[in-house]
Amino acid sequence: MLSLENLGFGPFFSAQYELLPNSSGLTPARIIADNRGIYRLMGCHAFLGELSGRLRNELHPEQLPTTGDWVAVADDSERAIVHHVFDRKTGLFRKAVGSSGRGQLLAANVDTFLIVSSANQDFNIRRLERYLTAVWDSGARPVLVLSKIDLAENLDIYRQGLEAIAWGVPVVELSAYSGAGLEELLQHLPAGETAALIGSSGVGKSSLLNALASQTIQDAREIRNDGKGRHTTTGRMLSLLPGGQIVIDSPGIRELGLWAGEEALETTFNDISAFAEDCRFRDCLHQGEPGCAVLSAVQRGELGEDRYQSYLKLQAELAALERRRDPTQANNSKRRSKHIAKQVRALNKAGGKRCEH
């Protein structure tokens, strides 16, 4: 059975819990995903929740809880209400362009960020530097991970690039395919601590997590694997590794890679931008429009199919990000409450279990 300690609830948080005036009625839980204010929470079981009205009014937007946060909830049968957010150990922010504030909080209480880049043409030192800066600002430790080393004919180029920016940050070269370097990486991840993966789309973050988790992984699905179909509710957002490490892998954290938005798409894929100048339409999305120079480069074999596919993938992620930012898409709270109630009913029907304290 899953305990709060398994999820990273150490002395730093338990001390705060003891001090809560009304702690008897509240239960600690960890946010493992955040979908516009509907939180997926994990305590001794998975459930959904949202902020109390009081917190919604009191908290500055930059303080709103996010993935990785520890909160205290009233364990209601229909939906959990978050009444308290524990002080954070660390906080990763997305810097808003041209704003003086701290930006948007993307991840909380992560001890180690694995900044993943791959040993191929997506390698971008400037971007890695920005990741490093964001991680140092967060208060967490960075580890620079060079992935897909099985692909590289000459690793020295990548090594030199990473060493130039590392300044003492550990660099781990690995391959999720061959398994090389995985043991070394685990040495940087102490038991009971939380790690998270950041890096551009396609660098191999999911594959790495799968490889680390290969044998005895219990992810949020398997923890609750009571044969009653509740697994799908949490997916792979939170994984527990055999060595007792917690890994958070959520779209919100990965999105750090997209903070530069269109600019990132341009600079990472400048080969595609070069072809795109010859597209018939200025706003061509290179998805089958007539006169698309990018597609014809793929057909002629001048542009790799995999390169084209990772461009499309990043483009789709950017579009999703924009939709999420668009206020017209925001749910009104009534619809949201209904949605929560429905999902919680589904959870409970599937064999819900209350936390015993």
Binding site for Zn ion (CB under 5 A): 279, 284, 286, 292, 294
Nearer to ligand GDP, 145 or 276 (CB): 145
3-state DSSP of the chain:
CCCCHHHCCCHHHHHHHHHCCCHHHEEEEEEEEEECCEEEEECCCEEEEEECHHHHHHCCHHHCCCCCCEEEEECCCCCEEEEEECCCCCEEEECCCCCCCCCEEEEECCCEEEEEEECCCCCCHHHHHHHHHHHHHHCCEEEEEEECCCCCCCCHHHHHHHHHHHCCCCEEECCCCCCCCHHHHHCCCCCCCEEEEECCCCCCHHHHHHHHCCCCCEEHHHHCCCCCCCHHHCCCCEEECCCCCEEECCHHHHHHHHCCCHHHHHHHCHHHHHHHCCCCCCCCCCCCCCCCHHHHHHHHCCCCHHHHHHHHHHHHHHHHHHHHHCHHHCCCHHHHHHHHHHHHHHHHHCCCCCCCC
**Nearest approach, Cβ of residue 209 and ligand GDP (Å):** 8
Q: Amino acid identity, residue 145?
A: V
How far is it, in rounded angstroms, from Cα 132 to Cα 229? 39
**Nearest approach, Cβ of residue 268 and ligand GDP (Å):** 13
Nearer to ligand GDP, 139 or 251 (CB): 251
Binding residues for ligand GDP, per CB under 6 A? 147-148, 150-151, 175-177, 199, 201-207
> Which are the contacts of 304, defined by CB distance < 8 A and separation ≥ 6?
298
**Nearest approach, Cβ of residue 299 and Zn ion (Å):** 12
**Nearest approach, Cβ of residue 304 and ligand GDP (Å):** 12
**Nearest approach, Cβ of residue 137 and ligand GDP (Å):** 22
How far is it, in rounded angstroms, from Cα 346 to Cα 31? 19
The site partner of 175 among Zn ion, ligand GDP, none (C-beta below 5 to 8 Å per kind) is ligand GDP
The site partner of 203 among Zn ion, ligand GDP, none (C-beta below 5 to 8 Å per kind) is ligand GDP
Q: Amino acid identity, residue 355?
A: C
Nearer to ligand GDP, 194 or 310 (CB): 310
Nearer to ligand GDP, 164 or 180 (CB): 180
The site partner of 284 among ligand GDP, Zn ion, none (C-beta below 5 to 8 Å per kind) is Zn ion
Nearer to ligand GDP, 207 or 337 (CB): 207
**Nearest approach, Cβ of residue 161 and ligand GDP (Å):** 18
The site partner of 103 among Zn ion, ligand GDP, none (C-beta below 5 to 8 Å per kind) is none
The site partner of 279 among ligand GDP, Zn ion, none (C-beta below 5 to 8 Å per kind) is Zn ion
The site partner of 205 among Zn ion, ligand GDP, none (C-beta below 5 to 8 Å per kind) is ligand GDP
The site partner of 7 among ligand GDP, Zn ion, none (C-beta below 5 to 8 Å per kind) is none
Nearer to Zn ion, 157 or 312 (CB): 312
The site partner of 202 among Zn ion, ligand GDP, none (C-beta below 5 to 8 Å per kind) is ligand GDP
Half-sphere exposure of 256 (CA within 13 A, CB side): 31
Nearer to Zn ion, 183 or 306 (CB): 306
**Nearest approach, Cβ of residue 64 and ligand GDP (Å):** 26
Nearer to ligand GDP, 179 or 261 (CB): 179
Nearer to ligand GDP, 148 or 230 (CB): 148
**Nearest approach, Cβ of residue 133 and ligand GDP (Å):** 20
The site partner of 292 among ligand GDP, Zn ion, none (C-beta below 5 to 8 Å per kind) is Zn ion
Enter the tokens of residue 200: 């551009």
**Nearest approach, Cβ of residue 86 and ligand GDP (Å):** 29
How far is it, in rounded angstroms, from Cα 266 to Cα 124? 12
How far is it, in rounded angstroms, from Cα 357 to Cα 72? 13
